[in-house]
Structure 1
Amino acid sequence: MYKQVFTFFLLLSFQWLVAQESSLTKFPKGYTPLEVGKLIGYRFINAKHALHAGKWISYPETFYWNGSLKYAALSNDKKLLDSLEQKFQPLFTIESALLPIKNHVDLNMFGSLPLELYQVTRDKKYLELGLPYADTQWEVPENATPEQKAWAEKGYSWETRLWIDDMYMITIVQTQAYKATRDIKYLDRAAREMVMYLDELQRPNGLFYHAPDVPFYWGRGNGWMAAGMTELLRNLPVNNQYRARIMQGYQTMMKSLKEFQTPAGMWNQLIDEKDAWAETSGSAMFTYAMITGVKKKWLDAKEYAPVARKAWMAMVPYIDDKGAVSEVCVGTNKKNDKQYYYDRPRSKGDYHGQAPYLWCVDALLEK
């Protein structure tokens, strides 16, 4: 009898341990999304601008701002929300010269920030500022190159480059425009663009070359694709003509990422190279995509929740007590040279890493 009771409680303990190891809701102290979000979100309040070409608000800063805003809203942190909004106000006046021009995929995505602020505050000045950034991705300028005009004639953005980075830059401003206006054209054109990128760049193993002429599986580049597909799938109606193809691309990628996760829980700078270094920004983007997929039931929870949890538990120790994430690959152009990716410098506190950590926080906090 005692042996049976002991066995029963041992089984319960084992089941509890397994549940804890796969849970995306219960974390030990120091690993909870509220703690991590507060640490990284508040770091941004007094942070300096990270400027593109020394002139305009850059895309990494935009994403850090967006992630902090969403965290503030999800955690009902009014102090942080007010501080983030106040930080934006000089861009209407004394810092207006820092507003990005609308002539490049990395610059137009800035519109996602005022569009996020509009959704949080419902103040129309943010909508009026943000929407032109989404619209001009499809409005061909007079000085467009023949190649850019050719993309536009096919119905794609004239800013198309077939770099995997693009499919977050384009997707995020278009999905934000949809959420702000409910005009389906923004979703449809971003989704059609995504399908074309999937057809051109995704390999049979589910991963993506950086570009057609750069056959390497760069970590953060693949992260942009994972996050971009996630954003579209979160918003595309079930009956949308592009949804099934994007879901196929997403699920194929997640299966591959599960297989390439390192024993420690991270993903490497070059995903398929075991001797490459563990890189935090790409790992965070993959984790965000998986957390969302589990919660939205796009992925089997028993199979993928433990993968996402393992990644999160591995990621958090890379944050110092000031909220700075280490082991972040610096901004990276494409290059047909594998050693180039191995040798990219690693940074600490780089906004490329701060932002996707907050995306994970936000995904964990969402119901």
Structure 2
Amino acid sequence: MNRRLLTLLLLLPFHVLFAQKNLLTDFPKGYTPQEVGKRLAHRFVGGKHALHAGKWISYPETFNWNGSLKFAALTKDKELLKLLQDKFEPLFTTEKQLLPIMNHVDLNMFGSLPLELYQITKEKRYFELGMPYADTQWIVPEDASPQAKEWAEKGYSWQTRLWIDDMYMITIVQTQAYKVTKDRKYIDRAAKEMVLYLDELQRPNGLFYHAPDVPFYWGRGNGWMAAGMTELLRYLPKDNKDRPRILKGYLTMMKSLKEHQAPSGMWNQLIDDPQCWAETSGTAMFTYAMITGVKQGWLDKQEYAPVARKAWMAMVPYINENGAVREVCVGTNKKNDKQYYYDRPRNVGDYHGQAPYLWCTVALLEKM
């Protein structure tokens, strides 16, 4: 190839240069979703429980488990599926005390896991275990706070608190309940809740504050929002009155994320701060949302497939030889202090990061 032709090729836009290959299916060895998913899912099987407050199965573990199950089912890996079911079995017996109580968004989300198992196995005991977690998000306990009761009177979950994390925690279990019952009340109320959070927390630039009193665009927090909208839009009926508003919020966010992607392909701990460190869990959530958006037709393939591919190719090297994802921000409460987000510890193998990586493998493998 002569130098002039090589120069012309290098000047071509990324999507034109790779026009002859599918950016979301053709990957080099070591980067395929089959390879990555298998490494991460099998690592989870042998991992220890990650407990919430030392008592109950945590939301990061729940979502890692869900991702592993979806990967096993999609790839028809019966051995892996059995290992994951066997890991769950003690929660019916000897580990029953680890089942989360039903009084907080970070705990009720657990219901999404047995409901995922129900969809795969059709065993009714999973259904019976999971549904109360969805129902109790809208059943106000007697000792609920006055503010919680006010939210309920307006038709929202009494667990509402206007933290962006909630829009995955609430959405995932309500969407799962809709999928297994076909009762629209579950997905309709999740949509109503989503619009509340969009109106309160999304800024004109498409990104989200961590909370109304915390004006920072925290990466994983925005990731929960991106993934929550994605899950909801996948299953929300076309005639739902809130769908246009949610789709608008999603599209506005994706446009902003495209503009804030670092040259490396990653997104930062504080999305709009190019000096902040690259963070893997948020990056994986954004990538999942974009892959799904392209495949569902919500996003223009020519515009967003290159963005999603670039992110995936940047993400994979953060997985170490043990299948553990590096540079994962630890669990993070809200705080009106920019330095606080800069200083958050970074873990290796934290389920906050392992889970969305698995979601990406499933999204890449799914045929829409």
Q: Please state which band the TM-score falls in when normalised by the shorter chain.
A: over 0.9
Residue 141 of structure 1 and its aligned partner are, at CA, apart by: 0.2
Residue 19 of structure 1 and its aligned partner are, at CA, apart by: 2.4
Q: Are 2:315 and 1:293 equivalent residues in the alignment?
A: no
Q: Counterparts of 2:295 and 2:149 in 1: how far apart (Å)?
A: 40
Q: Which runs of 4+ in 1 moved over 6 A?
A: none
CA RMSD between the two structures = 1.6
Residue 320 of structure 1 and its aligned partner are, at CA, apart by: 1.1
Contact 1:269 1:278 in 2 (8 A): yes
Q: How does 1:166-315 map to 2 (within 5 A)?
A: 166-315=166-315
Q: Deviations over 1:308-367 (max 9, x none)?
A: 000000000000121100000000000000000000000000000000000000000100
Contact 1:20 1:26 in 2 (8 A): no
State the partner residue of 2:323.
Answer: 323
Q: 1:344 to 1:122 in 2, by over 3 A?
A: same
Residue 239 of structure 1 and its aligned partner are, at CA, apart by: 1.5
Q: Counterparts of 1:22 and 1:333 in 2: how far apart (Å)?
A: 39
Look up the equivalent residue of 2:338 and give its one-letter code: K
- Flag structure 2 segments of 5+ consecutive residues without an equivalent: none
Look up the equivalent residue of 1:239 and give its one-letter code: D
Residue 184 of structure 1 and its aligned partner are, at CA, apart by: 0.7
Look up the equivalent residue of 1:144 and give its one-letter code: A
- Flag structure 1 segments of 5+ consecutive residues without an equivalent: none
State the partner residue of 2:125.
Answer: 125
State the partner residue of 1:336.
Answer: 336
Q: Deviations over 1:221-258 (max 9, x none)?
A: 00000000000000011111111000000000000000
Look up the equivalent residue of 2:144 and give its one-letter code: A
Look up the equivalent residue of 1:187 and give its one-letter code: I
> Counterpart of 2:149 in 1: which secondary structure?
helix
Contact 1:22 1:309 in 2 (8 A): no
Q: Deviations over 1:99-149 (max 9, x none)?
A: 000001100000000000000000000000000000000000000000000
Q: Counterparts of 2:237 and 2:30 in 1: how far apart (Å)?
A: 37
Look up the equivalent residue of 1:67 and give its one-letter code: G
Q: Counterparts of 2:237 and 2:53 in 1: how far apart (Å)?
A: 38
Q: Counterparts of 2:76 and 2:19 in 1: how far apart (Å)?
A: 28
Identity score, percent:
78
Look up the equivalent residue of 1:111 and give its one-letter code: G
